[in-house]
Amino acid sequence: MKLRAIKNRYSPTMTPDKELQDLREALKASPDNAYIRRLLINKLRGVPGHETELEREINLLMKREPHDLDLKQALIEVYHKQGKNSACLIIYEELGHPELLNPETRVIIARCYLKDGDHQQAGLLYRSALEDNILLADEELDQVFRQASIYEAEDPDQAFDEATEDDRLLSKPNMNFDDVGGMETVKREIDLKIIQPLQHADLYRSYGKKVGGGILLYGPPGCGKTFIARATAGQINANFISVGLNDILDMWVGNSEKQLASYFDLAREKKPCVLFFDEVDALGAKRSDMKQSAGRNVINQFLAELDGISSNNDGLLIIGATNVPWHLDTAFRRPGRFDRIIFVPPPDAAGREAILKLKVADKPQENIDFAKVAKRTKDFSGADLNAVIDIAVEGILEEAIKTGVPRPITTKDLLRGAEKHRPSTSEWFTTAKNYAMFANKGGLYDDILKYLK
Ligand SMILES: Nc1ncnc2c1ncn2[C@@H]1O[C@H](COP(=O)(O)OP(=O)(O)OP(=O)(O)O)[C@@H](O)[C@H]1O
Ligand SMILES: [Mg+2]
């Protein structure tokens, strides 16, 4: 049978059984056709109950293509379904590049290691899978790792580890709003929502207003969310605790309640304090998106901590940042939680000019026309502007090594840097635009639409 004929018969209205039958027949007619065999394998993967056949087909194709990673993944999947644990582990351990395995398969291997009694390997794999796809969080695995870390907590060395852990999280930033170029709207919002209440705490309290609370910063990468969170702490001379993606993943890999509570406790202890959750979406993926209810525990506890149900959050400022606000559970946005949601757009021309000036300030320079460079760097994020300066400096250094004479940075160098670097924000807007147009509940993303006009 001709390939085209198979493809044409392959219509969406066909039942899976009929499709399978057609593919089997086609394969019988041309048993060496790898393409058809692969079609059959992919089809079989989607229909439960054909494990033995699937295993046989994969093994046949693997004889021809022994290094095909996708086939190995398929084989791990089918072995796992049949409870052939050691077979899965053998494939995994013989992989040349285990890091290329897709996150779904890594979770399978984590389970196999768990059955094998190797909790450490299991934990590492589970963790790396979540790093790539938080939606793979799984109640059973989460539970196991939680118990494992409770067990570790009885270790006498743990007290020492916790002290250094606090030091790692906690800092007193020596920067403030002056170090942040542009972002005037964001600065004003933060001032109104967070700084003023804290500085006039008694006045606010006398009207029954809470001092503190949460804001959520969202926007394209590299536009200063993390940067301004840190500057906010510096601006009011507060402590800064940054909980990053890795800390959040640690929570997923067990012990979540205890860890989450400890971040909030530490912050309350160090008041006034800015408690910053970077990439907070990892914590608050929509509960409906969660594969199982494991995520619910973490989210619910996070919400309870935000609400300050069992403790006093006065003087505690909570900032969350995310690139993917649409993945956040709506419960995050209720009053008293992240009730102010602030869009952090790429800097406008004035903002870019300010950022460039700040970043070049401590470098040798000559009559730079910052406005001109700002004009030529539309859509560039703060991080992109850093890159432009890096490129300019590298060019000068290269030259200086050849000529032996260093020279200052000029407008031309920066313009050349701008030409060589592609702005990184457009991709984000492509996605964001869809959400803003089709999932703009309550005008949540009006700011994005306004920006795009
Ligand atoms: N307004 C700004 N003023 C000065 N520097 C800035 C500004 N915005 C961004 N930068 C520079 O760009 C770098 C990246 O910014 P930052 O890490 O805050 O971006 P982000 O919005 O948190 O990105 P992501 O979403 O990828 O986490 C900063 O370290 C800083 O050097
Ligand atoms: Mg960031």
φ, ψ dihedrals at 343, nearest 5°:
-80, 125
Q: Band of the pLDDT at 51, cuts 50, 70, 90?
A: very high
Of the bound ligands, which one is closest to the alpha carbon of residue 228? 1
CA distance readout (Å), 192 to 60, 199, 229: 67, 11, 15
Q: Is there a single domain that holds both residue 384 and residue 316?
A: no
Q: Is there a single domain that holds both residue 132 and residue 170?
A: no
Does the CB atom of residue 183 touch ligand 1 within 6 A?
yes
Asked whether 271 and 316 are in contact (CB, 8 A), the reply is: yes
Mutation pick for ligand 1 pocket among 187, 218, 227 (CB with most ligand atoms within 8 Å): 227
Q: pLDDT tens for residues 77-131?
A: 999 999 999 999 999 988 878 888 999 999 999 999 988 888 888 888 888 888 8
Q: pLDDT tens for residues 266-307?
A: 999 998 899 999 988 877 665 555 555 556 677 778 888 887
Q: Is there a single domain that holds both residue 94 and residue 201?
A: no
Q: Is there a single domain that holds both residue 141 and residue 34?
A: yes
Domain membership of residue 21 (yes or no) is yes
Domain membership of residue 441 (yes or no) is no
Q: What is the pLDDT of residue 310?
A: 59
Q: Is there a single domain that holds both residue 334 and residue 354?
A: no
Helix-helix angle 69-81:51-64, to 10 degrees: 160
Residue 364 belongs to a domain with what CATH number?
1.10.8.60
Mean pLDDT, range 182-211, rounded to an integer: 86
Cβ neighbours of residue 214 closer than 8 Å, sequence gap 6 or more: 306, 317, 318, 319, 320, 336, 337, 338, 339, 340
Of the bound ligands, which one is closest to the alpha carbon of residue 225? 1
Asked whether 309 and 206 are in contact (CB, 8 A), the reply is: no
Does the CB atom of residue 325 touch ligand 1 within 6 A?
no
Gap from CA of 225 to ligand 2 centroid (Å): 5
Q: What is the pLDDT of residue 254?
A: 65
Q: Distance between CA atoms of 301 and 442, rounded to whole angstroms?
A: 26
Q: What is the pLDDT of residue 231?
A: 96
Torsion of CA 276, 282, 287, 291, to 10 degrees: -160
**Residue 425 pLDDT greater than 90, yes or no:** yes
Of 290-299, 308-317, 350-359, 399-408, the poorest mean pLDDT is in 290-299
Q: Is there a single domain that holds both residue 114 and residue 142?
A: yes
Q: Band of the pLDDT at 227, cuts 50, 70, 90?
A: very high
Gap from CA of 279 to ligand 2 centroid (Å): 7
Q: Which tokens go with 358?
A: 């700040």
Q: What is the pLDDT of residue 286?
A: 57
β partners of residue 215 = 319, 340
Domain membership of residue 223 (yes or no) is yes
Q: Distance between CA atoms of 172 and 53, rounded to whole angstroms?
A: 62
Domain membership of residue 430 (yes or no) is no
Instruction: Label each residue of 292-353 as H, E or C.
Output: CCHHHHHHHHHHHHHHCCCCCCCCEEEEEEECCHHHECHHHHCCCCEEEEEECCCCCHHHHH
Scan for tokens 């494991």, then name that residue.
294
Domain membership of residue 435 (yes or no) is no
Mutation pick for ligand 1 pocket among 183, 190, 217, 223 (CB with most ligand atoms within 8 Å): 223
Q: What is the pLDDT of residue 409?
A: 96
Q: What is the pLDDT of residue 289?
A: 56
Does the CB atom of residue 30 touch ligand 1 within 6 A?
no
Q: Which tokens go with 380?
A: 């560039």
Residue at a domain's end among 343, 372, 400:
343
For residue 405, give its domain range. Answer: 349-420
Counting the structural domains of the chain, the total is 3
Q: Band of the pLDDT at 197, cuts 50, 70, 90?
A: confident
Q: What is the mean pLDDT of the chain?
A: 85
Does the CB atom of residue 244 touch ligand 1 within 6 A?
no
Residue at a domain's end among 286, 317, 343:
343
Does the CB atom of residue 224 touch ligand 1 within 6 A?
yes
Q: Is there a single domain that holds both residue 333 and residue 286?
A: yes
β partners of residue 275 = 241, 318
CA atoms within 13 Å, Cβ hemisphere of 182:
22
Atom of ligand 1 nearest to the CA of 344: 21
Q: Is there a single domain that holds both residue 209 and residue 162?
A: yes
Gap from CA of 224 to ligand 1 centroid (Å): 3
> Which residue, judged by its Cα, is nearest atom 10 of ligand 1?
382
pTM listed for this prediction: 0.72
Does the CB atom of residue 358 touch ligand 1 within 6 A?
yes
Mutation pick for ligand 1 pocket among 176, 185, 216, 226 (CB with most ligand atoms within 8 Å): 226
Domain membership of residue 332 (yes or no) is yes
Residue at a domain's end among 118, 150, 182:
150
Residue 269 belongs to a domain with what CATH number?
3.40.50.300
Q: Is there a single domain that holds both residue 277 and residue 182?
A: yes
Residue 23 belongs to a domain with what CATH number?
1.25.40.10
> Which residue, judged by its Cα, is nearest atom 29 of ligand 1?
227
Q: Is there a single domain that holds both residue 130 and residue 242?
A: no
SS3 at position 216: strand
Q: Is there a single domain that holds both residue 127 and residue 163?
A: no
Does the CB atom of residue 382 touch ligand 1 within 6 A?
yes
Gap from CA of 229 to ligand 1 centroid (Å): 10
Report the share of the chain in percent with pLDDT over 70.
Answer: 87
Torsion of CA 283, 285, 291, 292, to 10 degrees: 60
Domain membership of residue 437 (yes or no) is no
Domain membership of residue 434 (yes or no) is no
Q: Is there a single domain that holds both residue 180 and residue 262?
A: yes
Q: pLDDT tens for residues 305-319?
A: 887 765 677 778 899
Mean pLDDT, range 347-375, rounded to an integer: 96
Cβ neighbours of residue 325 closer than 8 Å, sequence gap 6 or more: 216, 218, 281, 341, 444, 445
Q: Distance between CA atoms of 26 and 42, rounded to whole angstroms?
A: 15
> Which residue, judged by its Cα, is nearest atom 13 of ligand 1?
383
Q: Distance between CA atoms of 193 and 215, rounded to whole angstroms?
A: 8
Q: pLDDT tens for residues 128-152?
A: 888 888 888 887 887 777 666 544 4
